Structure 1
């Protein structure tokens, strides 16, 4: 099981190390980094996020001034009551923290989920999502979607046997995709793990398509590429 995580807030001292520490934990994926709760809500409503780490931001959940220098860590709990999610405090990390501290916190969360057999609802209970194209609504099957490419004034979805064009926003398309099967690897590309044909030091191949990768993104992709997709 992969624990999908969101970082919420700005950077108190030591906060900049968090992304690097998270990348070193093989079963944790940083799905997004949001500056405020409104932006984070976009991801929380997908019901695919397991952990929320909060820094400083203008919201009632933000740490009071006398608690500056701490990072609250919360498990997500989903339900049918609006807004559809709640927060379960799990730990408070004191800054500066170490990779071991973070590893221990996520190990605790993982054990809680396993011990209590917690299951997470998901909107991905079908094999496809519906996409608006210029002429009609199209079914996009997850297993057929090779990669998503951002063009000048539209977005192109490359499937096994066809290409679909849409003017939907990339963030919306990403929100329709299972996080354990797709990854936003470049400003202009989202790829499907099952269609990777080669992973090099500075790029990934999806069939004949060559997509450039930064060193950090290559490391993250290599880690997630080895995990079960469904």
Structure 2
């Protein structure tokens, strides 16, 4: 269980975070604060694993506030101002979420925090069971090339078969390890270690082509260095 607190001067922003955290059974939202100064005693107590922190607040700038914490926890910045991203990463934050952010993007940031905290189990299975028609099909993660979202179903592509399931693309992404898979298009997830090459807006996995969506390009380029 990861204990986290959220600091944001906007009530709606805190409400969204509370909703997202409630969907993650491995997260415990200890409390929320509308003022960073009110949060300081709790943060200095060392009883918080993760801080979800806004940047532009009336009392103090979020980045300046980080410097006031004696033993800061891991931090995910949540802000409407993308121009502070570089300063955020220089402060060694886990991730930088630009409002409004989706649950999928929030979950990806949390998974990064899990890795930093070492809370991902070392014996996490290297396979999934996927319901297809009336069967539960075992799929080894190493065999997955990509996942394709269709109109009414999702197709999991491996080297030798395509498994169709009624799961949504987002639900399946939540079950895949974030360090190995990435969403590159609203209809595609790919295995990073299966990418053969990238040319303009196309990912090649062997002789298969996967489009890159504009909204996903920056994260893909960051992940592949």
User: TM-score, normalization: structure 2?
Assistant: 0.58
- 1:1-230 paired onto structure 2 within 5 Å: 35-42=16-23, 44-45=24-25, 61-64=32-35, 87-89=49-51, 93=55, 94=61, 98-106=84-92, 118-122=117-121, 125-215=124-214, 217-226=216-225
Q: What is the CA-CA distance between 1:180 and the residue it aligns to? A: 0.5
1:125 Cα offset (Å): 1.2
Q: 1:156 to 1:201 in 2, by over 3 A?
A: same
The offset of 1:170, in angstroms, is 2.0
Aligned length: 165
Q: Distance in 1 between matches of 2:194 and 2:144?
A: 8
CA RMSD of aligned residues (A): 4.1
SS of residue paired to 1:199: strand
- Matching residue of 1:83: none
For the pair shown, which has the larger CA radius of gyration, 1 or 2? 2
Is the contact made by 1:46 and 1:122 (CA closer than 8 Å) also made in structure 2? no
Q: Which runs of 5+ in 2 are unaligned?
A: 1-5, 38-42, 56-60, 63-80, 96-115
Query: Closer, same or farther in 2 for the Cα pair 1:107/1:162, shift >3 Å?
Result: same
Match of 1:56 in 2: none
The structure with higher relative contact order (CA 8 Å, sep 6+) is: 1
Report Cα offsets for 1:174-199 as digits up to 9, x if no partner: 11100010001111111111111111
Secondary structure of 1:61 counterpart: strand
Q: Distance in 1 between matches of 2:52 and 2:133?
A: 46
Q: Could you tell me the TM-score, scaled by structure 1's length?
A: 0.57
Partner of 1:82: none
Q: Within 2, Cα distance between the matches of 1:162 and 1:221?
A: 26
CA contact (8 A) 2:146 2:188 kept: yes
